[in-house]
Structure 1
Amino acid sequence: MRAQERVEEVNQRVQRIIAGDLRERLPYRSVDEPFSKLAIIVNGMLDEMETLIHALAGVGNDIAHDLRTPLTCARLTLERGRTNATTLAQLQAAVDRATTGIDQALTIVTALLRLAEIENGRRSAGFGCVELHEMLREVRDIYEPIAENKNIALHVRATRQLTVRGDRDLLIEAVANLVDNAVKFTP
């Protein structure tokens, strides 16, 4: 009867977990008891799942935040172009600026897909030697005009050549993100 009561208690807790209560855990008494050993293992698995679910929610928020800026800029550029452009050239310039914002959003999505591939082990075959000093200069060349518009000096001081093994596109994305934020938020 005691075994049946324990099975019923486990069943009720599992039903609460299935219903979405991820804080619920299975009861256990003694570590030496087989049923308790199983409950401890399942609780560990539930702890890991809860952590992953919370991390996934955080990633979703980060993605939404990273995509919102370039998409909002593209939308505003198109709206202003439609409202204020008096010539075809002005309208084309607005579309070109909006396309740049959309390209930034696509770059973010592409980087996220590449990260997923790396985590699944499929992308590591695309790794190669990346010369960091050249990559840094490339990022500087991209962001230098933006920095100059804000009267910010942007320099690369590479005292020696350094090569690492990695995904060049993802490294550029990471450094560009840092530089972009620094240029945006530097007084």
Structure 2
Amino acid sequence: MEQCSWPQGNALMQTYHDEEWCRPNYDDRYIFEMLILEGAQAGLSWSIVLAKREAYQAAFNNFDIEYCAGLSDEDLESIRENGNVIKHFAKLQSVPTNAQAVLKIQKEFNSFSDFLWRFVEYEPVINSWETDAQIPPQSPLSVQISKDLKKRSFKFVGPVTTYSFLQAIGMVDDHIRSCKFHTLNR
């Protein structure tokens, strides 16, 4: 059975592909982690971000949303200087900004998960691509969610980043159809 080719033999990427990518997740902490990591990826490769994931988890208290919401610029500067994270300061500043926006959503919708999953009526979008090359960089759904997130003051949530984020939390299954991890093959 042919598998998605994008992990390219990288052990971290393969584990992420096999155990997390495109698997529905409803946990606000995990969803927030994926939002931040996908935003950190902008302009970089996912393998770089995955290699720094443990450092991100350590720096941001395992992506505790309330903790992250309270981080100051001084805290972020210390993380930038001392942590093995991507040093782009605006990306680091997106952590408390996005955490604060998540807290507002939790008050309004009960959870960040409920807010997001309502866009797909709580059912993942299951695609049936034959090759990785067919997977689009964005979709009408990612454009719609990106606009809503931006309206709510989220940062680093353009349509392409949002599409990767939707894959990361399993709202979209983009495993190629022949991959054993495709929803219809599990």
TM-score (norm 1): 0.24
Larger radius of gyration: 1
Bigger RCO (CA 8 Å, 6+ sep)? 2
| TM-score, structure 2 as length reference | 0.24
Structure with greater helix percent = 1
